[in-house]
Amino acid sequence: MEAFSFSSFFFTYLIGINLFTFVLYGLDKYKAVHGLWRVSERVLLLAALLGGAFSALFSMFFFHHKTRKARFLFFIPLCTLIWGILILHIYLKWS
């Protein structure tokens, strides 16, 4: 049996953090609509920074959530771009 490689760990991590981020944004939108205690903006932005940028960007428009906040409109696409470049670099290096 082959050892768990860095690239497979990395892409498994990305799938997990993006699923988590999608659920987090959906949960925050649900709480916003129902007037409940919210997920802090720091946590939402941190989830994107830690690798959930793709689902954060998708979730913003899927849930129509945080689309008017300048901080999110700048930071989330920037994180998505940075993570995209990192993923491409790792893919090209390890494939």
pLDDT in tens, 45-81: 999 999 999 999 999 999 999 999 999 999 999 999 9
What's the Cα-to-Cα distance from 71 to each of 14, 37, 42, rounded to whole Å?
Answer: 23, 21, 11
Mean pLDDT over 9-18 rounds to 94
- Name the pTM for this structure: 0.90
Report residue 3's pLDDT band, with 50, 70 and 90 as the boundaries. Answer: low
Residue 43: per-residue pLDDT: 98
H helices then E strands: how many in the chain? 4, 0
Q: Are 77 and 57 in contact (CB under 8 A)?
A: yes
**Pair of tokens at residue 55:** 């689902």
